[in-house]
Amino acid sequence: MKTALITGASRGIGAAIARLLAKKHYKVIITCAQDENSLLNVRDEINKEATNKETSLCEAYVCDMGDYTAVTKLFDKLPEIDVLINNAGISYFGLLSDMSYEDWRRVMSANLDSLFNTCKAAIGPMVRKKEGKIINISSVWGSAGSSLEVAYSTSKGGINAFTKALAKELAPSNIQVNAIAPGMIDTAMNACLTEEDVASIIEEIPADRIGRPEEVAELCLKILEAPAYMTGQIISIDGGWV
Ligand code: NDP
């Protein structure tokens, strides 16, 4: 059984990925930084669904993935990771000129430092086994840039460059590193938008709707099942939007 670590899986896209990979018989390890109740609910739901009741398919840990020391300690407790899904992330809406340094750091820590922290800890055993897969959840704004989301777009652009560079570094070890760049997906991250905001965004989306977390999870699974020759790619899922 392969083990997958999915960061930021107490809800939204991360939870959808965890549910799908568990259905496909991965052992899944899930994290979040704050909402422990929701995280444990996802864990319990997955374990209830498990067909082999002797195997706990899901383990859950509260851990801020942007905190290097905390992530290092977490990895000391974990089995070797075959699949790493770097999904944890936060958004920030507002003019750059109004943004505090602390908020800038919060976005960079959750969205970008987290990739350094998890990859540094996960890669060693993958290199030794000459096998492993890393998928980073980016955003369409990582290449297009979004007004009022300069920090978020910067962090996601960083994820794209990180993905391409690390893919080159790890291809000789048969480790594939790819990223998914979603457009607008129906999760709590967009809860701050009004119905009118959402309607006007949908007008710009050729598919005429926003995406579902389960669709991102399906793409994630497809990438895990793709030929090993596919690495260093940023794959959009945005209904033709950007
Ligand atoms: P949600 O806000 O619904 O979920 C985010 C998850 O990440 C939660 O489980 C949250 O848990 C966790 N999280 C946040 N910060 C940390 C941290 N420092 N350490 C560990 N866990 C953390 O968002 P989505 O599901 O929408 O987003 C998932 C990913 O998809 C993000 O990277 C986001 O940028 C990306 N994305 C989302 C899009 C969308 O339209 N929804 C579009 C493009 C990309 P807790 O709050 O308990 O810490």
Q: Which domain holds residue 110?
A: 3-237
**In this predicted structure, what is the pLDDT of residue 88?**
99
Distance of CA 7 to the CA centre of its chain: 6
Tens of pLDDT, residue by residue over 68-88, are 999 999 999 999 999 999 999
Tens of pLDDT, residue by residue over 42-64, are 999 999 988 666 567 999 999 99
Total domains in the chain come to 1
Q: How many CB atoms within 10 Å of residue 38?
A: 17
209 in any annotated domain: yes
**In this predicted structure, what is the pLDDT of residue 50?**
84
111 in any annotated domain: yes
Taking the centre of ligand 1 as the mean of its atom positions, its distance from the CA of residue 122, in whole angstroms, is 20
Taking the centre of ligand 1 as the mean of its atom positions, its distance from the CA of residue 227, in whole angstroms, is 28
pTM reported for the whole predicted model: 0.98
**CATH code for the domain of 190:** 3.40.50.720
242 in any annotated domain: no
89 C-beta closer than 6 A to ligand 1: yes
**In this predicted structure, what is the pLDDT of residue 11?**
98
Those residues whose C-beta lies under 8 Å from the C-beta of residue 118, and which sit 6 or more positions away, are 5, 7, 65, 71, 84, 86
Question: Has 152 been annotated as catalytic?
Answer: yes
Across the range 204-213, mean pLDDT stands at 98
133 C-beta closer than 6 A to ligand 1: no
